[in-house]
Structure 1
Amino acid sequence: MARRKKVYEGKAKILYEGPEPGTLVQYFKDDATAFNAEKKDVIEGKGVLNNRLSEFFMNGLNAVGVPTHFIKRLNMREQLIRSVEIIPLEVVVRNVAAGSLSKRLGIEEGQPLPRPIIEFYFKDDKLGDPMVSEEHIIAFGWANQQDIDDMVALALRVNDFLSGCMLAVGIRLVDFKIEIGRIWENDFHRLIVADEISPDSCRLWDIETGKKLDKDVFRQDLGSLSDAYTEVARRLGVLPHNSGPVTRPHLVN
């Protein structure tokens, strides 16, 4: 796809015009950022791993009837996706107290929550992605009440699916964030899961040891981020069990 048009570049991905109307090509970069990009690095192979892991999760969600923007993986770093109108919110689902929830409410990290808690954050890096209420969302026109109800339903279904996937390989799904987009059919729209699902967007802890297998490894300088993501991919069967960390794009289709 020489000379293709760049549509958008974020911290971890680039979007290009797709080969057909209504499609985009999503490219996964090796860049790692934390604390609203105050901490940055390039982790060789990270984009390859996230591409494969996001493909695994999106295909799984599609298979169980949860609609996503994913169409197919194109190569080691790119996938073909449907173009959607992104709702400017991060939808966070929490199963265990960690991160900002622990800091805000003084709850000890690692404490299981009585039920999954869903939070909404307004996507604006300059503002630090502030948490917002349903009242804010409706008042400022980001989504209506039906959209909010649909986002909650989608998020809980994603939580059920991801929790089961992770539990089966000895990993606790602590929390995760997703983005949701609208696709239009004449004058009507429906909501689908967009962006990516990977260790960049989840908190994942080993059930037995509590070892962190997500971007907190980078945030907290706990070791090799590539090793952590590779372990997740191996456990899920995305990589062979005898594979080492991904340093160059040599995965087998």
Structure 2
Amino acid sequence: MSRRRRIYEGKAKDLFEGPEPGTLVQYFKDDTSHEQKKGVITGKGVLNNRISEYLMTRLGEMGVPTHFVRRLNMREQLVREVEIIPVEVVVRNVAAGSLSKRFGIPEGTQLPRSIIEFYYKSDELGCPMVSEEHITAFGWAGPQDLDDMLSLSLRINDYLSGLFLGTGLKLVDFKVEFGRLWDNDEMRIVLADEISPDNCRLWDIKTNEKLDKDRFRQDLGKVEEAYQEVARRLGILPEGGPGDVKAPKLMQ
């Protein structure tokens, strides 16, 4: 692989400078973590790359603007460089995770309507929950940015809920991130990061079996098999199963 300069090192992905101005190479790792717990899910990077490529492409076809350009190989994809808004948007359809704990709602309870929550993107602070007032007061995003993020999040939820339903999966909740994409002097809000079992809760419709990162968080076992099952249901499981590609060589 060509030597590239690493722009950002994350817990599950690294970003390298792209082949053209305004582009980055997003590299998917097998590393995973939850609070203080860390581990490796063999083949996760390969599967998440394929799953995110598929979902980003489908959303793009439905008119949702994204940073995704194309998949480069088993672990890398080309994306547009964006200014990430430090706010994570969580859309909840079914009670699970922190929402169940905060309000004492039994996990699996269907919510009366989809609920949107905001979290400040800061690992050091534990990504605290914030309000729209916090977001606008601290200048993380303006009112119009927020309106765009809300509208896009609901469109993503509607489309993905139907798509997963067709594969026998229930979209319980998911987290998305957005960025500002600059084109000359014009700016637009686009979907960034990834969409995969790392940031979606996906349950089997008939059995409520969890097929996402909760299997790692809750020590349920068969984590690799769960990610593979999601890819299989979407019809994109790599032939021969997840393989491996080494990271690009870094510039000294």
Q: TM-score interval w.r.t. the shorter chain? A: over 0.9
Moved more, 203-212 or 179-188: 179-188
Identity %: 69
Aligned to 1:99: 97
Structure 1 residue 3: Cα displacement? 2.0
Aligned to 1:221: 219
Q: Could you tell me the TM-score, scaled by structure 1's length?
A: 0.94
Q: How many residues are treated as equivalent by the alignment? A: 245
The residue type paired with residue 7 of structure 1 is I
Q: 1:199 aligns with which of 166, 186, 197?
A: 197
Unpaired runs of 5+ in structure 1?
Answer: none
Whether 2:159 is the aligned partner of 1:161: answer: yes
Asked if 2 retains the 8 angstrom alpha-carbon contact of 1:227 and 1:245, the reply is no
The alignment partner of 2:149 has SS state of: helix
Aligned to 1:72: 70
Q: 1:85 aligns with which of 83, 86, 97?
A: 83
Give a deviation string over 1:78-126, Cα, whole Å, max 9, x none: 0000000000011100000000011111111111111111111000011
Distance 2:175 2:107 in 1: 18
Structure 1 residue 148: Cα displacement? 0.6
Give a deviation string over 1:44-91, Cα, whole Å, max 9, x none: 211000000000000001111101000000000000000000000111
Paired residues for 1:52-63 under 5 Å? 52-63=50-61
Distance 1:33 1:246 in 2: 20
Q: Could you tell me the TM-score, scaled by structure 2's length?
A: 0.94
Aligned to 1:234: 232
Whether 2:242 is the aligned partner of 1:246: answer: yes
Asked if 2 retains the 8 angstrom alpha-carbon contact of 1:44 and 1:248, the reply is no
RMSD: 1.3
Paired residues for 1:158-197 under 5 Å? 158-197=156-195
Asked if 1 retains the 8 angstrom alpha-carbon contact of 2:47 and 2:237, the reply is no
Question: Residues 78 and 189 of structure 1: is their aligned pair in 2 closer, same or farther, counting only changes over 3 Å?
Answer: same
Distance 1:144 1:181 in 2: 13
Distance 2:90 2:203 in 1: 17
Give a deviation string over 1:197-231, Cα, whole Å, max 9, x none: 00000000000001000000001111121100000
Asked if 1 retains the 8 angstrom alpha-carbon contact of 2:6 and 2:15, the reply is yes
Structure 1 residue 155: Cα displacement? 0.3
Distance 1:105 1:128 in 2: 19
Aligned to 1:109: 107
Asked if 2 retains the 8 angstrom alpha-carbon contact of 1:230 and 1:244, the reply is no
- Greater relative contact order (CA < 8 Å, ≥ 6 in sequence): 2
Structure 1 residue 247: Cα displacement? 5.3
Distance 2:20 2:58 in 1: 24
Give a deviation string over 1:7-38, Cα, whole Å, max 9, x none: 00100000000000000000000101112xx1
Aligned to 1:3: 3
Asked if 2 retains the 8 angstrom alpha-carbon contact of 1:226 and 1:246, the reply is no
Structure 1 residue 245: Cα displacement? 5.1
After the TM superposition, list the runs of 4 or more consecutive aligned residues in structure 1 that deviate by more than 2 angstroms. Answer: 185-188, 243-249
The alignment partner of 2:124 has SS state of: helix
Unpaired runs of 5+ in structure 2?
Answer: 246-252
The alignment partner of 2:58 has SS state of: helix
The alignment partner of 1:27 has SS state of: strand
Structure 1 residue 244: Cα displacement? 6.9
